Each structure stands twice: as structure tokens, then as C-alpha cells.
């Protein structure tokens, strides 16, 4: 039985059923009774014979029929036994309200793992858990409301095309309340709580299977099991369903609040960010944005590009719209000849046909001018997206007609439209025709940019095919020394500095005759990082004497540091215009993550880095490089040639693919610096640390 | 008569008075009649004897009394004569609706200048102009509504503590409508249109004199006459009045839309940005923000710092609040011992007293817990600002009590408070007690950050005193060659590379004996920029022969380029960790602008620059350096010492002060690179171009 099917139970038992409809164990019964659940409601309460007018039973095992789903509203210490009963009666879904588990720390995590272990005993792994410590789930299509949110009382349920998935119960309720107040129907409200079993990613995967769903709004604090969400994104894309996410913990302060540990938190968010981007899931800022942009995603077609045309009756709005478009990364391009010709027919002579179009008073008393202007844009040569700003309406403006024209334009042309207004009555006129309105040009333009992002970013399609799936993350790993690390990367097909390792004076002399000078000399030891800080790096070696002196000095230094002496590495010294850092690691939730950024000693100070989750394409790698703050410097400057970013992008792809192929043997790669020069010179890795999974740990 | 007095006329004549109350020449009469203007309304219309029930007159000169103010609602070509009449009758204020002036281009600009010239003939320069091409002005305290905005019909005027100043008439109306719908009283609505005479800066200066004004909301597309706004900011600061600005044209697209010319537009916005920041005028994004944040600025006290404490009944809200605080630059610090002790008394044991405070269900049925928690923060040790998030309210929450406690806390402690909610009825409970509410944590937190920005950024106080005021911007200037430029900067007290200029071989030999090697050699010519592109720069000169060869080669190159030969500069070569650029120019609207940023060949590619308007303090210079993207690299890294930013800040201050002292003689300075090293080494300017005003141009 699929998780989606489990969310459509024909019978629901409630452990801890309460006669009081405002208690957690009473609310789902009350909700199901009032909101038309056609299945059977089975209250379980050993102390009562009747609950809210329904016959109550002493235990799950004493029920007259086996329930499909069970709500567990019991003290934490009774949940384990309840799960056993669920297994015994063959329930498919248990929704655990109870707290006292992983949210309390280590001991609670063990208790939580025990719940999952018990559930796994069900035949075919057929018992799925929501929670513990969750507000429950609801299916408003069937009235199966296994949920105690008060918001269901405040806003009457209505089935519709939206699914809510939230790690936070409050978050689910905020979204539900906001969407319902906006008149939007909601089919699923799933809060996943501690996610002992079903996590938000899998819940999204389940609801996008439902053909009635057009939009999933997702709130997460920790993104788990990325593979489920990746699959959900692929299915959603194929079905034309939009997934919009809020991932809280964008900042270190937010992440410290979301979880009690602190290390590597910022990277966790950066990875989630990369993952969502790669899978065509726009990341919104907060609940308010999820609610405000839902009508846009539900009503407007998917745009074909990022070119926006803005039309307004106010010059100030035109300026603010142009600002907003540029800030949102939309292209507000000049019109081509054909469009100009069309516009000049549509517009009176005193209106300049430039983008944004300031109609001044052209629409006063002449509503068809608006429709004609839209018509002139409908060829698709000018606009992928249309913004209309009516900051002020008054006598002489026929907003009913404008709304009708706007609605028809979007429907007929497939070009989405968003309107910014300041007056309620103007907003209502557009909303009545299904045209989404916003309270500022910025908000409207951001909505259009989100639409474009969602439409353009195709989710990965190759993930499972080419590779065996994400490799396992090891809890311990061992760092290789520099020459071994460079050798690993060379075998991965990455360009590394040409080098030789010398164990004695003869090898030093031989090496310096073999490699083109100048050379760099480095002491080899996996136990010493930051070698230059310890005088274990010398540049500009040209003579055997210099190399031999370095060899003697390095050996002495390593003895003094009591570090293993792996000899001396002599490498060809390269010139560089930029030092990059290139890295990768196996992440437990996302698989292989590849990082690229400004390198050298400033890598941590500047934190100008971008992540990608492997596998990814060379185009995605190029885009990631383009998002670096340093990116503009890679272009031709003052007659100097550009940096060959394609070569760097190729290295990123190769590194990600190789890490996947290694199946977890290689846990991390830290190549820094990667020397990059303007012009034709190929990038080269001149230092690296590769860490291998440690079997014994 | 001050401009403020001129905005309080006792009699108003309307040229082009219309009997139709919805025409531009009819509206102000209708508005003044309906909204209690106690002065005399004097319609002028040669074709009518009566207008809207009032006696009409044939001309200004035929009026029974001289009007204080005149509305000019006439065709553009009649405005000049109308101004003459205003001068003749001794009017103090003319509000020109008419278009057909500078908005049309060059010829229109000449016609507009002619209007000003005519007005200047008034005794004592006593006739001030609003417009042309403006929607007019309104004083809702007196009902003197010289304005044709339809929004005055849609939202009934009510006097209050807010003044609206806008270059756009639509902007003024949007702000007026939004503020009135929010129940906020508005005293002035001033739209300045083409700003032939009175610009927005001077209008703000006028209204902050009115003791009834607490808040000025300002919309500008081009910031003119910065000195007026600087004076307004000082007066506003002294009086506890907030000025909030939207400056449109933040992006090049926006600026291209705002004006037809394109050169140096981004710099114009960057200068305006710096100017507003230095004068404690928060820059908001759009009209919506100006409207949404007005209640916060009107109701809440000025905070003493940037430390925020957040309190919520939802864990998700706590995470989003922490994210928002960090993104807004607010400090969400851990609590000190005393505050922890107080909080542990206020909060039940199951609530962890950490910031943000997740109260979970502690407030259910126990409203005083909220007041006690606020009380525990009232010592001021923990909070400069308080955010409260109630994303979900329901049974058991006494929002009337919470609102009362929040309102009292702000009043008693001087710590401002902002609340985020999702439900209308919860919002209304707080608003009823004067506590501002927002629809997201981000919006609330941004509001608190704006409050802190406005309270903390003291406007400059030294501007007019120490210096003779901003120097004039010259329309033409002459570039000095490199040694002359370096000499100018040395005289300004800035550290420049030690150097000698050689005109013959003897001077070359002498110089190389005098200066410490290695040296850099450069060909001297004011006519060649980018000298390294022409082979006119050689590094690592140690021997006389190298220097003499360079001398010969440079002379040949300059001959080939047909450029003036100013000899050869030999300078001491410096090592650098960073190349900065330091510049300054005289700007027509802002006076002296100083720029600092990443220099070298990447200066234009990276555009990592900050501006300051002189004079400014060393602290402000340090802050500007801290806003550079490269700033984190200046700190100690991997055991390397920090860059001496105080020295760089000192150079910025010295450059700005010197430019002011030069009184316009020096029009611009472009020092690039300024070499900066980690550790104790002083920064040094190794190349510069100084441009002097050209008298003959």
C-alpha cells in the first residue's frame, strides 16, 4: 500500500479518544463527524463506553473492525505498546501526537528509534508512522482528519488543489489558515513532527501522486532523505505540479534555533539551497510568501522564459517595476520592430512604446486600449511574463474590462500575468477574473520570477539511472597525504600538478632533472595540515642544492612536529590569476555534494562558495560558477582574456561523478588551491586532501 | 516668508478654475469647500462669473484681494504670463499643474528655466513654485488643498502627524490613500513634479519645521540639492522626527526608466544611498513599505541599540525570527545571568529561557506569563528591541491582555515592540492598543531594524561649520599627469609612493642612486591612460641600465602614440596583499563624494565599491570599508595579521576634507591602485589621476 493510499483510510481509530472536542484526543473525532468523513470512526478509551456520541472501546484489539489508521493521543510511555497493537491489528498508518521523543535529546532519540523498530515488524513494512510530536494529518477530500489543529475550526475545510506538508504543526496550521482565508481549497495538511518514519520529503512524494493536486507548499527546518524529494520533483514536473518550499534556518542563528548542534550548519542550509534549486523547487522566504504566491501558481500558465513586459498608468510604478524586475533577475528588454509596430497601433501617439509602458492617462474612458496593448504583446516575441501596475484607480478606469482582458490574455497566450494594486476594490475586480494581485510591484515581480524559476529549472532526470544512488556517508574517515590525494584525483580524471615524491637525495636530484623548473617543494605528511604555516612549503626551486636543502629541512621539521615523514613532493610551479577551491563530500541526506569557490587562504574568510548536489550537468556547474561573487572577474578585463570556466565546470562534473562511482569509498575531497589562469591555460589542482571511509570505525 | 508659511495660505486663487469638480481646475475648489478651508477661495476664469457657487474673476489682477497662493491650471504656454501676474499681486506660492516643460526635453527645460527667472523677480525672491507638471500640494490641517488627486475623494482627509513629499503625483496619492486607509492622519501632501524651484529636499526641510509633524515619508526618483535634505535631517533628528525615503531607480533599469540619460546613473544612486545612510534616513523599498512601517515609527520609541529578543508561541516562528533577525543585521544574543534568573521566575520550567524564547503552550490560560516575561526583559540588559510572534491564536489566548502588556512595556521601558500575526482578529487586538503588527516575522524584524537604523545613524552635524559648503561642480576639467597628481595628493596629506621624475639620462642615473630598489618605471603623459596596456610600465628595475633602457623605450612609445612626453617616473616598488581604489569627485547635488573599493584592473568588473559624502568621520569610513564584499579578507586569516583599516579610513577622511577645502579647484581624484599590506605597513598610493576644474570651459 502506498503512502498516498494510507492517507485515505476507510476507518480511523483514536487512542486516547476524548469526549471533549477541544482536547487533542477529541478534536479529530469532532472534525471527522462535522466534516463528512464517510468512513468509520473508532474511539478507543478504556474509561468510557461512549465518546462524542460514538461507541468507545477498551483497546485497539477490542475494536469491532481493524482500523486502517490510528491516531495515538497517549502519554509518550504508552506509545510503544500502542504501536505493537497497530501492528497486531494490521493498521497501515499511525499518527502519533505524543511528545517525549527525539525533541528531548539522546534518550528520546533511542525511544523514537524503538517505535520505528516496532512498526517495522508489520507485515511487508506496512505500518507507516507520522510523528511522534506531530499535529497530525488531514485529508479534506474524504474528511479523514487525524489532526488536532484549532485552525480547522477557525477556517472551514474545503477540498482543493493544494497539499500542505510541514515539519511544524504550527506551520501547517498557518498555511492552512492563510490559504483558506484566501479562498483556496486544501486537500492535504500533513505535519511530520519528529519524522521518525515518514519525513517531509516522502510526504511530498506521496501527495504529488494525487491527480487532484496542483500545488504543494512545504515547510522544513531540516531537509531529510533528499532522494524522496528528488523523485517527487521529477513526478511533479512531469505532472505540471508546482512545489514551493520554505526552508527555515537560512542563517546560522536560525539554524542554531532549529537544532541544538551548531557545527557545519551553514553548509547544511547551502546544500538544501542547492538541492532545491537543482530540482526546480523555488525557495520562498516564509509562510506569508507561500500563501501570497499560491494563487499565482494555481491560476497562471508556466512561462517560457524570463522576459517581462510591464504596463502601468503611473510613471513612478514604471520606475519601481524596472527596479524590481532587475532585482528579481527578470529581463525587461526593449521591444523589437514588430512589437513596436503593434504597440503603436494600440497606443495613442502621446504614449511612448518602451518597456515598461507608461500609459499615462491613455486608459481613461478607453478600456479597450489595454486589451489592444496586451494583444500587441501576444506574439510572444516580446514577453514571457506580463506585469501590470494599477497603483491608482478612479473614475474613468473600467477595471472589470481590464480584468477580463488580462484573464483572457493569459489563457489565450500562455503568458502569465500578475497585477500590482493599492486599492481593495481594484484588487477585487482582478481577483474576480482569476488574475492574481499583489500589494507592490516588488511582490508581483518576485512572483513572476518564481514562476519562471519553477518552470525553467527542470529537475534532474538522470539521478537513479547512471549511478547506483547516493553513496553511504561514513561516520569516520582517514585523510590521505598530498601525493596520494593528488594521485586519487588524477585517476578521477582531474588535472593535477605534475609532481614526484622523493624519499632520498638521489630521488631529489633525479626529480629536479626530470621536472621543468621552477618547482615547488612540500613536506609530505598526512598528519600536518596548513603546511606553509610550518615552513613545509618552498617556492621557486630551480637548483638541486635548493631542493636538497629543503629535503633536509623538511625532514627535521617533521621530526620536530613528531609527524610521519612521507618524504618530499616536488611539483611543477604554476602561475595563476585566481585561486579556487574545489571540494566534495558524502552527505547523509543529499548524497554527494560538490563545492566550488574562491580558494587560497581566504576561502573561509570570504565564504564565496557554491554547492551542487551530484550528479549535475556542466551547464549547472557553469551557473554555479556564475553565482560566485568573484564571477565578474573571470570575464575579459582591460584587454586580458577570460578564464576558461568550461574547464572548471568540467572538473566539477568529473569530481561529482567520480565521487558517486566510488560508492562511498571516498568520503571527501578538498582541493585548494586550484590554480586558474586567464587565457588558454588549463586549471590545475596543486594541493588536495582526499579522505577515505574508515572500515574499522 | 518661509516655505512652511507659504504652505499655509489664507487665500487661494485658482487660474483655470472649473465649475466641474472632477476637472483639475475644479477639484481644489471642491476639496477646499468640502474640507473646511477657512481662508478665501478665489476662482479665476475669464469666461465665467461664478464657479462652484463662488464669484469668479477675469484675472489675478482683477481679484478683490491679493491671494497668498495661486493654483495654475492653464495650458503650458500661458504659465509664464500667469507667473508674471503672481509676481505683480505679491503671491507667495504658485502651484503649477501645467505640463509641457522639462519632461519634454531640452526646449521644455528652457521654458521651465524661464518660469523660475520670472518668479525670481518677486520682491525678496518671495514667490515659490511647485511644479510645473505636478499634482499640487495640500495642507489638511487648514484645508488648503491646492491639489487635484482623486485619492482625496476616495479617502477623507484627516489631519495628523505625517507629511508626504513626493516627486510623483501618483506616488503622493498612493501614500496618502494607503496611510488614510490605515487610519493614519496626514497633514501635508506635497508633490513636487518637475521641481523647477522647490525640490523634494527643500519641501522636507519645510515640513519638519512644523511641530505637529512626527514622520515624513518621501518618494524621489532623483535626489536634488542634498544640502537641504541634510539640514532637514539635522532638524528632524533634533526634534525626534523620522524621515523615511523611497529612492526609486535603485537599478540601472530603474534609472534608465526614471530618466532618459544613462551615463553614471548607478553612481547617482550609490551616492544617494550613501547620503541617506549618513543622514539617518532609512531607505525603504517601495510605497508599500512606507505605508506599512508608518505605524511603527509613529507609535514606538527610538531604540538604544540593535539587540533584539524574540518571543513566540511557535517553534517555527522562532526559527524564522532568528533567520530574519540575522538577515536584518539585528543581534539576537544569549541572555545574561540576571535576565536568565528573571526569565526563569517568569516562565514555567518546561520553557527554555533562550533567545528566541519559544513559550510553547505556556500562555494558554495564563496571560500574565507574557507580561512577566516582558518584565524580565525590562532592565534593558537584554533587549533594545522586542519582537513577538503570535502566528496562531485560538482558545486560551487572551490577546487583549497581551496587547495591553505589550503596549505598557514599550511605554514604560522605551523598548520598541513589533508583533507578527496571521489572523485579522489577533492583529486588531494589538492595533487597538497601538501595538504595530505585521504579516510576517521578516516584516516585523525589518521594521525593528529600520527603527534602529533611524535612531542610531545620527545625521552629520559638522557640514556647514568647518567647510564653506559644497564646492561647485565644474562642467569641464583637465587631467594632471601622474607625478603632478601624486604631488597634489601628497600635499593633501595622503601617502604616495616615493618617486622622482627624470627628464634625461643623468636624472635617471641620479634617481636610481637615490631611491631604494626595486623600482617601478612609468612613462609620464597625461594623455595616456592605462599605461601598462601600452608597455609604459616596467617593474623590478634594479640597475641603471634597466632604467635607461626603459627611458629610451618609453620616449619612443610616446612619440609613436603622438602623446606629450613628460619624462619617466621612477618610484619605489611596494608589496601588497590587496589593491584598493580610492576616488573622489565633486557632484552637483551632493558636493564631494568619496569612493573606496577593490582596485587594480578588477575595479570595474567587481564594482565592489562604497561611497561617502564628505565630510564624514573616520568611524563612517571604517563602516564603509566594512560594507565591501572583500572586507572579511582584511581580518587576520590563517595566522596572517589584519590590514590596517584605520589608516585607509584616515586616507578617506583626509581626501574628502581636502576636496572640500579646495573649493572646487580639484574636481576629481582617481587613486588606483592603493597598495595595502597586512601587518604594520602603511597603505600607499602608487598611481593617481587628479582632475582640476578648467576655467576656460
Cβ of A221 within 8 Å of Cβ of B441? The answer is no
Closest chain A residue to B441, measured at CA: A286
CB-defined contacts A:B, below 8 A? 203
Nearest to B257 among A256, A318, A602 (CB): A318
Q: Which has the higher per-residue pLDDT, A186 or A352?
A: A186
Cβ of A422 within 8 Å of Cβ of B178? The answer is yes
pTM above 0.95, yes or no: no
Using an 8 Å CB-CB cutoff, list chain A residues near B321.
257
Closest CA to B130 of B112, B109, B104: B112
Residues in CB range of B626: below 8 A, 6 or more apart:
none
Ramachandran sector of residue B670 (left: φ over 0; alpha: ψ -120 to 50; beta: rest): beta
pLDDT by residue (tens digit) across B526-576?
888 788 889 999 999 999 999 999 999 999 999 999 999 999 999 999 989
With b for 16 or more beta-carbon neighbours within 10 A and e for fewer, the A49-81 pattern comes to: eebbebebbeebeebeebbbbbbbbbebeebee
pLDDT by residue (tens digit) across B95-149?
999 999 998 889 999 999 999 999 999 987 689 999 999 999 999 999 999 999 9
pLDDT by residue (tens digit) across A495-542?
999 999 999 999 999 999 899 999 999 999 988 878 888 999 999 999
C-alpha cell at B497: 609612493
Which of A320, A325, A597 to mutate to probe the B interface, most B CBs <10 Å?
Answer: A320
Closest chain B residue to A441, measured at CA: B286
Nearest to B602 among A252, A315, A633 (CB): A633
Closest chain B residue to A350, measured at CA: B104
Cβ of B177 within 8 Å of Cβ of A635? The answer is no
Euclidean distance between CA atoms B419 and B328, whole angstroms:
16
pLDDT by residue (tens digit) across B180-222?
999 999 999 999 999 999 999 999 999 999 999 999 999 999 9
Using an 8 Å CB-CB cutoff, list chain B residues near A581.
none
pLDDT of residue B470: 77
Percent share of chain B, pLDDT over 70: 96
Mean local confidence (pLDDT), A47-76: 96
Does the pLDDT of residue A8 top 60, yes or no?
Answer: yes
A390 touches chain B (CB under 8 A): no
Nearest to B640 among A287, A395, A601 (CB): A601
Closest CA to A250 of A286, A205, A206: A286
Cβ of A153 within 8 Å of Cβ of B439? The answer is no
Residues in CB range of A191: below 8 A, 6 or more apart:
A130, A134, A135, A136, A137, A147, A166, A167, A168, A169, A171, A172
Confidence band (pLDDT; 50, 70, 90) for B464?
Answer: very low
pLDDT by residue (tens digit) across A226-272?
999 999 999 999 999 999 999 998 777 777 776 644 445 557 899 99
Dihedral angle sign, alpha carbons of residues A216, A217, A219, A223: positive
Euclidean distance between CA atoms A362 and B552, whole angstroms:
69
Mean local confidence (pLDDT), A54-69: 96
Distance from CA of A602 to the nearest CA of B (A): 6
Nearest to A441 among B286, B326, B332 (CB): B286
Does the pLDDT of residue B255 top 70, yes or no?
Answer: yes
Residues in CB range of B619: below 8 A, 6 or more apart:
none
Closest chain A residue to B22, measured at CA: A395
Count of CA atoms in the C-beta half-sphere (13 A) of A235: 20
Cα angle value B96/B100/B106 (rounded, 5°): 120
Using an 8 Å CB-CB cutoff, list chain B residues near A265.
none
Does the pLDDT of residue B263 top 60, yes or no?
Answer: no
Q: What average pLDDT is seen over chain A?
A: 93
pLDDT of residue A696: 62
pLDDT of residue B523: 95
The CA R_g of chain B, rounded to the nearest whole Å, is: 31
B533 touches chain A (CB under 8 A): yes
Distance from CA of B227 to the nearest CA of A (A): 24
Mean local confidence (pLDDT), B240-261: 80
Mean local confidence (pLDDT), A63-91: 97
C-alpha cell at B7: 504652505
Closest CA to B555 of B546, B568, B542: B568
CA B563 to chain centre: 43
Q: What average pLDDT is seen over chain B?
A: 93
Using an 8 Å CB-CB cutoff, list chain A residues near B387.
none
Cβ of B632 within 8 Å of Cβ of A606? The answer is yes
Does the pLDDT of residue B467 top 60, yes or no?
Answer: no
pLDDT of residue A327: 95
Mean local confidence (pLDDT), B307-336: 95
Closest CA to B581 of B599, B602, B569, B595: B599
Does the pLDDT of residue A439 top 90, yes or no?
Answer: yes
Confidence band (pLDDT; 50, 70, 90) for A97?
Answer: very high
Cβ of B391 within 8 Å of Cβ of A174? The answer is yes
Cβ of A323 within 8 Å of Cβ of B440? The answer is no
pLDDT by residue (tens digit) across B392-445?
998 889 999 999 999 999 999 999 999 999 999 999 999 999 999 999 999 999
Does the pLDDT of residue B384 top 50, yes or no?
Answer: yes
Distances (CA, A) of A406 to A184, A303, A308, A374, B14: 21, 15, 15, 8, 40
Does the pLDDT of residue A211 top 60, yes or no?
Answer: yes
pLDDT by residue (tens digit) across B575-626?
899 999 999 999 988 899 999 999 988 888 888 999 999 999 999 999 999 9
pLDDT of residue A463: 45
Cβ of B392 within 8 Å of Cβ of A422? The answer is no
Amino acid at each position: 500500500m502506498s503512502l498516498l493510499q494510507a492517507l485515505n483510510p476507510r476507518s480511523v481509530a483514536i487512542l486516547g479518544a476524548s469526549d471533549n472536542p477541544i482536547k487533542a484526543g477529541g478534536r479529530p473525532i469532532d472534525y471527522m463527524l462535522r466534516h463528512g468523513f464517510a468512513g468509520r470512526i473508532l474511539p478507543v478509551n478504556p474509561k468510557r463506553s461512549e465518546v462524542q456520541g460514538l461507541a468507545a472501546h477498551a483497546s485497539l484489539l477490542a475494536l469491532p473492525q481493524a482500523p486502517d489508521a490510528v491516531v495515538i493521543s497517549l502519554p509518550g510511555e504508552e506509545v510503544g505498546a500502542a504501536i505493537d497493537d497497530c501492528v497486531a491489528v494490521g493498521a497501515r498508518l499511525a499518527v502519533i501526537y505524543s511528545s517525549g521523543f527525539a525533541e528531548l535529546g539522546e534518550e528520546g532519540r533511542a525511544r523514537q528509534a524503538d517505535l520505528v523498530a516496532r512498526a517495522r515488524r508489520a507485515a511487508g513494512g506496512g505500518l507507516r508512522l507520522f510523528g511522534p510530536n506531530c499535529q497530525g494529518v488531514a485529508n479534506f477530500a474524504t474528511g479523514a482528519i487525524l489532526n488536532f489543529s484549532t485552525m480547522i475550526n477557525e477556517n472551514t475545510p474545503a477540498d482543493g488543489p493544494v497539499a500542505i506538508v510541514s515539519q511544524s504543526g504550527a506551520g501547517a496550521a498557518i498555511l492552512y489558515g492563510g490559504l483558506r482565508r484566501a479562498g483556496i481549497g486544501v486537500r492535504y495538511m500533513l505535519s511530520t513532527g519528529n519524522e521518525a518514519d515518514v519525513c517531509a520529503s516522502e510526504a511530498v512524494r506521496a501527495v504529488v501522486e494525487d491527480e487532484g493536486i496542483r500545488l504543494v507548499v512545504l515547510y522544513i527546518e531540516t531537509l531529510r532523505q533528499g532522494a524522496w524529494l528528488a523523485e517527487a520533483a521529477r513526478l511533479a514536473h512531469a505532472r505540471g505540479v508546482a512545489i514551493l518550499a520554505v526552508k527555515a534556518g537560512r542563517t546560522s542563528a536560525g539554524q542554531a534555533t532549529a537544532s541544538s548542534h551548531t557545527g557545519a550548519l551553514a553548509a547544511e542550509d547551502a546544500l538544501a539551497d542547492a538541492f532545491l534549486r537543482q530540482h526546480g523547487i523555488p525557495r520562498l522566504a516564509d509562510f506569508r510568501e507561500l500563501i501570497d504566491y499560491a494563487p499565482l501558481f494555481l491560476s497562471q500558465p508556466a512561462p517560457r522564459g524570463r522576459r517581462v513586459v510591464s504596463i502601468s498608468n503611473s510613471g513612478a510604478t514604471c520606475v519601481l517595476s524596472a527596479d524590481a524586475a532587475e532585482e528579481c533577475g527578470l529581463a525587461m528588454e526593449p521591444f523589437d520592430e514588430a512589437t513596436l509596430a503593434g504597440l503603436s497601433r494600440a497606443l495613442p501617439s502621446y504614449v511612448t512604446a518602451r518597456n515598461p509602458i507608461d500609459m499615462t492617462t491613455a486608459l481613461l474612458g478607453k478600456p479597450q486600449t489595454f486589451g489592444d496593448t496586451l494583444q500587441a504583446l501576444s506574439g510572444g516575441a516580446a514577453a514571457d511574463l506580463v506585469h501590470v501596475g494599477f497603483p491608482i484607480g478612479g473614475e474613468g478606469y473600467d477595471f472589470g474590462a481590464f480584468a477580463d482582458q488580462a484573464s483572457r490574455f493569459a489563457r489565450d497566450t500562455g503568458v502569465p500575468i500578475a497585477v500590482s494594486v493599492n486599492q481593495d476594490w481594484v484588487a477585487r475586480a482582478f481577483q474576480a477574473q482569476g488574475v492574481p494581485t499583489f500589494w507592490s510591484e516588488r511582490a508581483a515581480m518576485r512572483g513572476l520570477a518564481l514562476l519562471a524559476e519553477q518552470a525553467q529549472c527542470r529537475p534532474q532526470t538522470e539521478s537513479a539511472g547512471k549511478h547506483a544512488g547516493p553513496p553511504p556517508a561514513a561516520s569516520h574517515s582517514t585523510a590521505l597525504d598530498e601525493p596520494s590525494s593528488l594521485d586519487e584525483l588524477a585517476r578521477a580524471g582531474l588535472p593535477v600538478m605534475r609532481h614526484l615524491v622523493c624519499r632520498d637525495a638521489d630521488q631529489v636530484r633525479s626529480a629536479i632533472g626530470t621536472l621543468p623548473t621552477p618547482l615547488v617543494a612540500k613536506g609530505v605528511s598526512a598528519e600536518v595540515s596548513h603546511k606553509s604555516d610550518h615552513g613545509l612549503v618552498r617556492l621557486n626551486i630551480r637548483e638541486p642544492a635548493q631542493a636538497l636543502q629543503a629535503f633536509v629541512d623538511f625532514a627535521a621539521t617533521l621530526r620536530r612536529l613528531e609527524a610521519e615523514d612521507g618524504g618530499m613532493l616536488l611539483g611543477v610551479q604554476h602561475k595563476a590569476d585566481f585561486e579556487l577551491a574545489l571540494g566534495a563530500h558524502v552527505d547523509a541526506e543529499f548524497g554527494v555534494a560538490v563545492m566550488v569557490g574562491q580558494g587560497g587562504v581566504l576561502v573561509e574568510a570570504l565564504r564565496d562558495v557554491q554547492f551542487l548536489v551530484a550528479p549535475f550537468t556542466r551547464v549547472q556547474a557553469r551557473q554555479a560558477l556564475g553565482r560566485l561573487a568573484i564571477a565578474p572577474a573571470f570575464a575579459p578585463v582591460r584587454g586580458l582574456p577570460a578564464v576558461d570556466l568550461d574547464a572548471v565546470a568540467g572538473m566539477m562534473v568529473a569530481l561529482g561523478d567520480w565521487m558517486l562511482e566510488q560508492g562511498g569509498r571516498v568520503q571527501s575531497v578538498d582541493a585548494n588551491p586550484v590554480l586558474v589562469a586567464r587565457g588558454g591555460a588549463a586549471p590545475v589542482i596543486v594541493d588536495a586532501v582526499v579522505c577515505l571511509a574508515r572500515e574499522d570505525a
